[in-house]
Amino acid sequence: MFDNFGFFFPRILEGLPQTVYATLGGIALTIVLALVAGLAMLSRLRVVRFVARVYVEAFRGTSEVVQLFWIYLVVPILVGFQVVPLAAGIAVLGLNHGAYGAEIVRGAVQSVPKAQVEGAVALNFTPAQRLRRVVLPQAFVEMLPPFNNLFIQLLKSTALLFFINVPEMTRQVEVLRPNFGESLATMYGIILVLYLLLAIVITGVMRWLERAAARRLGRRPPSRTSALAKVSAGGVG
C-alpha cells in the first residue's frame, strides 16, 4: 500500500500551494465583498440596498458548482476571452462566500447598541468617523466567530475547483487515480488530513484575532475552547 508513497506524496503536495492560493485569494475577496455589500444593505439609499440584496440573494440562492461553471464556461463567451482557471475559481469563491459574509457584516453592525451611535453623534463625529471609530471596532468582534466558520467553508469549497481543472490537491489525486488505484485510500487520507490541518490553522488565526480584538475594546478575551473548527448552524447557509 505504501510502495509508491515516495512517488505520489510529492505529487499531491504540489497541489497544496494551489489550494492555499485559492483559499487566501478567496478569503481576501470575501472580506472586501462582505464589507461592501454588508454596509450597502444598511445604506439609506434604496437603490444601494436593492443592488446589494440582489447580489446576496443571487449568490446564496444558487449552487456554487453552477456559479463555477458559469464563470468558467459562460463568462468567457460573453466577454470574449478565456479566464485562468485559478482566477475564475478565486472569483467564484469570493463572490459566493462574500454574499454569506455580507449577512454576517450586516447582522454584526446592527447588533452594536444604538446608544453607541447616538453617543458618537452627540460628540459631533462625522458619519465616516462614527463608522470607523465606534461601530466597526465593536461589530468586528461579533463578526470574527461566524467568519471563522465561513472561511472554513471556503477552504472546503476549494476542492470544487477540481471541476475547472485547477491543479489543487483534489485534482492532483484525480490525476494519479488511474495508475495508483491500490493506494487510493492513502492518497485520499493524505489530502483529508491536509485539509483538516489547514482548517485548524484558520481557526487558530481567527481565535488569535478574536482575543486581540476583544482586548482592544477592553473586553475579556473569549475562552479557549476546542482547537477544531466549530462550524455552527447556517454555516453553509
Partner 1 sequence: MTWDWDYAREVLPKLLEGLLVTFEATVVGSLIAYVLGLVFAFIRRSRIPVLSQVVWLFVEFVRSTPLLVQVFFLYYVLQPELGLLWTSFLTGSIALGVHYACYTAEVYRAGIDAIPVGQWEAATALSLPRSRVWLGVILPQAVPRVLPALGNYTISMFKETPLLIAIGVVDLVGEARGVGAQSYRYVEPFTIAGLLFLLLSYPASILVRRLERRVNRQH
The full 3-state SS of 12-32, as one line of letters, equals: HHHHHHHHHHHHHHHHHHHHH
**What length is written for the chain?**
237
170 binds partner 1 (CB under 8 A): yes
Q: Which of 120, 166, 191, 206 binds partner 1 (CB under 8 A)?
A: 191
235 binds partner 1 (CB under 8 A): yes
Q: Which of 196, 201, 205, 212 binds partner 1 (CB under 8 A)?
A: 196
CA distance 112 to 131: 11
Q: Which of 139, 152, 164, 206 binds partner 1 (CB under 8 A)?
A: 152
CA distance 137 to 141: 7
CA distance from start to end of the chain: 39
CA distance 54 to 86: 26
Tell which positions 40-99 bind partner 1, by CB under 8 A: 57-58, 60-67, 69-70, 73-74, 77-78
Site of interaction with partner 1 (CB under 8 A): 57-58, 60-67, 69-70, 73-74, 77-78, 152, 155-160, 162-163, 170, 173-174, 177, 181, 184-185, 188, 191-192, 195-196, 199-200, 226, 228-229, 231-237
